Amino acid sequence: MSSSDDAGQPGTAPGSVLGMLTAMRSIGLDVDGLCAATGLSEATLADRTDYLAPTEFVSIWRIATRQFGRGTLGLFVGAAIPAGTLLEYLAGASPTLRAALGQIARYIALDSRNVKWVLGARQPDGLTTFEEQVTYEPAAIPLQLREFGMALTASRLHEWFDRRPRETWFSHAPLGPVDDYQRVLGCPVYFERDRTGLRFDDESLEAPARRHDPKLFRLLEAHAERVLAETPTTATFRERVRHAVVERLREGEPVISPIAEALATSERTLQRNLQAERDSFRDVVDEARHKLAVVYLGDRTLSMTDVACLLGYSEAAAFTRAFKRWTGRAPSLVRR
């Protein structure tokens, strides 16, 4: 049986990214300008089948947040995104809210591989947490995108089951007015907790769906299982190497031997396979660092030393030299 835990490399389905752009347009953002500024194209996304890596569309969230004027953009996009994915139809046809959470946890990879959802045990305070966990390098996922997922899930559950969470927890500080959170999520919101998730009482979890159809539910579940099983989970050897590099950048300068070990191969075979794809280990490392550097530079809470450390450099000067080699410009200029 397939599950979201083994659904392959991180990424977001192109249809989900199109939905985000549609929601951004509906709340008044200049989506054509955003696409022009970031190199994305709605027409290209409509024809695309492979998932977008976080680094491919993170810049659109950064620019859109500036255009929106406050950091809570993700909440409003999540609440405005149009319905229409297979996962949404399946969860909405579930018999109870608890069952819907189970479907979201199982099939979230149909929409996104950047996060997974985990339904926890009932806590002493009587509430159960539906926790969102990042599966990719956390600093590469904009907090607005995490808030987007929380608002989207909360708004759909309210639509399907007429229930709001009793509480919402975020592991980070508020990105904007707290009133925005409470208005969109419809419940008390708490920040800087040990996890991010929606919290429900027992009565809400057993709430029946407004439109449960047992036959439709069985058909949708069978279809979702088939689609998930047929969704490509493999990547080129180069992509597998790059993913292994990203996972280990915080440990320092990437070295080929532990990467080869992580991929259950030898150093010689790793190099030979990359050469077959007309690549080299150094090129893969440079690309991984370059793409993440652009993401990290967009976060002004990170100093140049922080960015260098996250990319595995021993000092900021080494990062600056590498960035100039990649782009011809100093990272400080790109940040400005």
Q: pLDDT truncated to tens, each residue of the chain (336 aa)? A: 333 344 456 788 888 999 999 999 999 999 999 998 888 889 888 877 778 877 777 888 989 999 999 999 999 999 999 988 889 999 999 999 999 999 999 999 889 888 899 999 999 999 999 999 988 766 667 899 999 999 999 999 999 999 999 999 999 999 999 999 999 999 999 999 999 999 999 999 999 998 888 888 888 888 888 787 766 555 678 877 887 787 677 678 889 998 888 777 899 999 998 998 888 999 999 988 888 888 788 777 778 988 888 888 988 999 999 999 998 989 988 887
* Half-sphere exposure for 318 (CA within 13 Å, toward CB): 13
pLDDT given at position 4: 39
pLDDT at residue 26, rounded to an integer? 97
- Between the alpha carbon of residue 56 and those of residues 61, 66, 132, 254, the distances in Å are 11, 18, 22, 22
What are the domain boundaries of the chain? Answer: 4-230, 237-335
Residue 335, pLDDT score: 83
Fold category of 237-335 in CATH: Arc Repressor Mutant, subunit A (1.10.10)
Question: Rounded to whole angstroms, what are the CA distances from 99 to 37, 102, 202, 213?
Answer: 41, 5, 13, 13
